[in-house]
Chain A
């Protein structure tokens, strides 16, 4: 039941924006002050976190090899899963970040009478993850049209592709459907899969609900609650925000302020949450290092001064036995135990 509080929190956020934006004079707070504060929090927080990570050294080169390593020339090695140079590492990271390669490997284990264990390929998590992340990315790119004048070609292209089915008026975006679907599936997984249910924290439900709120408020605004949703004045506000000349010239519907407030919350929350996996995935030492530890020495900046129990000390302790058993020694048995 750890989702109750996060759900309540998102509902509270909606109510705050809804009621707040209706109070005369508060539009500036919700339309300008909060978004600026959120963006600042996001940018500063994100950078801070990345810098914090980067400040810790990588003392050891510890890639997880998921294939044959580079050894003898006649043995084919796995350039992607046991990379030995930078370009191969980049390729491995690219597949990890863009195609979620590790999740593609996922299996589901079951235990049956016998006992008999089985491991079946299970790509659901991969699918839900891809569905959600790419929908989100597309939507973010589409929204650039609000901030940029003229609208760049690639934004138009994304928008065109996203509305290619030409259903409804205004045209329905594919990603409107897929992001909601992705979120519902990811949430459903946390309820249905026993293991995932047990490990889920409030921190895992909150971003799901928050993004769900953003998506739904956006969809409502586009298709259903269109009173006072004037795209021209919204774009003017957005461009104003982007050019640091913000102005709210006309009344804009509360649904817009709800949407904007939830987005602001997401931005501000991002650096302090697990959502930082977006940055962290680039820095994971088991993925972003080459498997060349025996070829190129890796330097540990804090390598401690630790010496082995010395051979001399060893020989001193066991010299007699060594001599007796014809094991070569450095010093030989002393006539008088000097030193």
Chain B
């Protein structure tokens, strides 16, 4: 399990253009059904550890059977004897539970509109990374066993028997999709490959096939409250260190509270923000902002994770992990919740939380204690995005901002997939940017807003052993960043996503090393003029090393 060596950038730059692939002009010699998935170091994420699977399986409401040691390169994946029956029954069950799945299995006409919309296809040229073929991996089995035409005509009708080979192919390509939903923007029927990938991953878990980079954070989140596995005291310590840094930089002592009953607001952000750069600076931005306005809020160590790796696992795990937010809000008696910057977290909060764990009748409709603005758009879920909150503050002139404090920044804006296509959070970040940064430029129009490109490592794929895949998948994003870097001298890539902050950092280091990545709240924090501050010239904002 040694470290997988990452290909040099020049070599990869050539390979993506010249390597024979469907993207670069060559045509495969074999039908896709006849091309088996072959695992080799670098093209698969490591399987979930046995003890993590066992732990998850032991949790109320969850099922993660067949915990064992196994390895994708081995012929024998040690599947249960009746694995095929489990898969087909699992598929039947899900067809009955999700209309989306049924419709998406039946409606595709293979028009190919989605084909070149996927960042993984653009970067790998692998035909099975065309969203339509990714779905066909499942659809072929569906046709074979669940449709009349498939039962009668079999392969002639595009049907395919479920075999171990097919299962392995599912594993490969369900983990080369980041559920970013870009394809669903272009599909004339709105077919959403995220739904297909979610189902594939759910089905794979029913026979004990999953990856560690997802299940370990999920199990951590269940036990310690956050993906990073930070225990309460460590979580608090980490935030305190950030407060020390803020004090050094600004002379302001910020005193956040933890698990405090009676606070007006509960604040939840991805734990990565208090764990590693560059998320740390984003967290410093939150701390400064909330101090600046004197917000009565608390952090929670129990609900210390905004992200939800359950979304990348199955709907049961997603519900279980998410349930902590309302449980904690209720226990602490807060009025409403503010959520930090994170992409998939907000997909869950915006589109799933209320359905899964609501109604939140113990909370109040969010009302900004500073501006009095009532957030009608969150009147049922009672949780608002920090960018919505901040934009409202700026609009009402409640922040003392000195834009020039961001003059070392020439920014561009990355719309995170989930907030863009699962929520429609496009203008708030731009409004905030307009107000805290003097220089920022949009990337080309087919790469932003609802057409934004994924970082290439979302949905739990930001693990090092598949670095080449990630660099390929992230190429379209990096390429657009490079474009504005060369054209406008952009040196900062802003985003509202914790996974982005981690993965885009690796990505730009590889493709556009002159650019660095930051959260939006870091830029806000940079620009705030704090009351009583004793601030030196911070040439690099919150990143300045004194």
Measured CB to CB, the residues of A under 8 A from B are: 5, 49, 52-62, 64-72, 74-78, 81-82, 96, 100, 102-103, 105-109, 111-117, 119, 125, 129, 193-204, 272-274, 276-277, 280-281, 283-287, 291, 293-300, 302-311, 314-315, 317-318, 321-322, 324-325, 327-329
Complex formed: what's the CA distance from A68 to B186 in Å? 17
The interface residues of chain A lying within 8 Å CB-to-CB of B187 are 102
A195 x B378 contact (CB < 8 A)? no
The interface residues of chain A lying within 8 Å CB-to-CB of B315 are 59
Near A by CB (< 8 A), chain B positions 332-369 give 349-352, 354-356, 358-359
Given contacts A75-B391, A203-B149, A283-B103, contact A65 B424 (CB under 8 A): yes
Complex formed: what's the CA distance from A321 to B450 in Å? 45
**B331 interface residue (CB < 8 Å to A):** yes
* Pairs A-B, 8 closest by C-beta atoms: A69-B424, A306-B61, A280-B107, A65-B424, A308-B323, A286-B190, A196-B112, A119-B446
B319 x A304 contact (CB < 8 A)? yes
The interface residues of chain A lying within 8 Å CB-to-CB of B8 are none
A65's partner among B132, B422, B479 (CB-CB below 8 A) is B422
Complex formed: what's the CA distance from A56 to B191 in Å? 16
Given contacts A53-B99, A71-B428, A280-B189, contact A200 B380 (CB under 8 A): no
Near A by CB (< 8 A), chain B positions 205-251 give 222-225, 231-233, 236-237
Given contacts A297-B358, A308-B321, contact A284 B316 (CB under 8 A): no
Per-position contact with A for B151-185: 1 when CB-CB < 8 Å, else 0?
00000111000000000000000000000010011
A194's partner among B22, B32, B133, B447 (CB-CB below 8 A) is B22
**B499 interface residue (CB < 8 Å to A):** no
Residue among A56, A61, A196, A298 with the highest chain B CB neighbour number at 10 A: A56
Given contacts A75-B391, A294-B354, A309-B59, contact A199 B377 (CB under 8 A): no
Complex formed: what's the CA distance from A318 to B348 in Å? 28
Give the tally of cross-chain contacts (CB within 8 A): 338
Residue ID in chain A nearest B453 by CB atoms: A117
A203 x B190 contact (CB < 8 A)? no
Complex formed: what's the CA distance from A81 to B190 in Å? 12
B358 x A311 contact (CB < 8 A)? no
B130 x A286 contact (CB < 8 A)? no
B130 x A199 contact (CB < 8 A)? yes
A294's partner among B132, B327, B328, B380 (CB-CB below 8 A) is B380
Give the secondary structure class of A's interface. Answer: loop
Given contacts A112-B17, A115-B475, A196-B115, contact A281 B60 (CB under 8 A): no
The interface residues of chain A lying within 8 Å CB-to-CB of B108 are 274, 277
Measured between C-beta atoms, what is the minimum distance from A62 to chain B in Å?
5
A64's partner among B22, B184, B383 (CB-CB below 8 A) is B184
A56 x B95 contact (CB < 8 A)? yes
B424 x A291 contact (CB < 8 A)? yes
Residue ID in chain A nearest B184 by CB atoms: A64
Given contacts A297-B380, A328-B259, contact A67 B107 (CB under 8 A): no
**B136 interface residue (CB < 8 Å to A):** yes
Measured between C-beta atoms, what is the minimum distance from B511 to chain A in Å?
9
Residue ID in chain A nearest B108 by CB atoms: A274
B388 x A111 contact (CB < 8 A)? no
Per-position contact with A for B82-122: 1 when CB-CB < 8 Å, else 0?
00000000000001111111111011111111011100001
Complex formed: what's the CA distance from A224 to B304 in Å? 77
A76's partner among B115, B225, B316, B427 (CB-CB below 8 A) is B427
A56 x B110 contact (CB < 8 A)? no
B103's partner among A66, A284, A311 (CB-CB below 8 A) is A284
Per-position contact with A for B120-133: 1 when CB-CB < 8 Å, else 0?
00100001001011
Residue among B95, B98, B136, B232 with the highest chain A CB neighbour number at 10 A: B232
The interface residues of chain B lying within 8 Å CB-to-CB of A114 are 13, 17, 479
B427 x A75 contact (CB < 8 A)? yes
**B534 interface residue (CB < 8 Å to A):** no
B356 x A117 contact (CB < 8 A)? no
A199's partner among B136, B350, B351, B375 (CB-CB below 8 A) is B136
B233's partner among A96, A116, A327 (CB-CB below 8 A) is A327
A280 x B261 contact (CB < 8 A)? no
B195's partner among A62, A66, A307 (CB-CB below 8 A) is A62
The interface residues of chain B lying within 8 Å CB-to-CB of A105 are 185-186, 451
Measured between C-beta atoms, what is the minimum distance from B256 to chain A in Å?
12
B190's partner among A102, A129, A204, A327 (CB-CB below 8 A) is A102
**B543 interface residue (CB < 8 Å to A):** no
Residue ID in chain A nearest B349 by CB atoms: A294
A100's partner among B22, B106, B188, B373 (CB-CB below 8 A) is B188
**B46 interface residue (CB < 8 Å to A):** no
**B431 interface residue (CB < 8 Å to A):** yes
Complex formed: what's the CA distance from A310 to B223 in Å? 9
Complex formed: what's the CA distance from A328 to B122 in Å? 51
Complex formed: what's the CA distance from A276 to B105 in Å? 11
Complex formed: what's the CA distance from A195 to B223 in Å? 46
A67's partner among B101, B111, B302, B424 (CB-CB below 8 A) is B424
**B254 interface residue (CB < 8 Å to A):** no
Seed contacts A103-B111, A108-B116, A291-B423; 18 additional CB < 8 Å A-B pairs? A54-B99, A61-B351, A69-B423, A74-B395, A102-B187, A112-B17, A115-B475, A125-B112, A198-B28, A199-B132, A201-B158, A283-B99, A293-B351, A294-B379, A294-B381, A306-B323, A307-B60, A311-B302
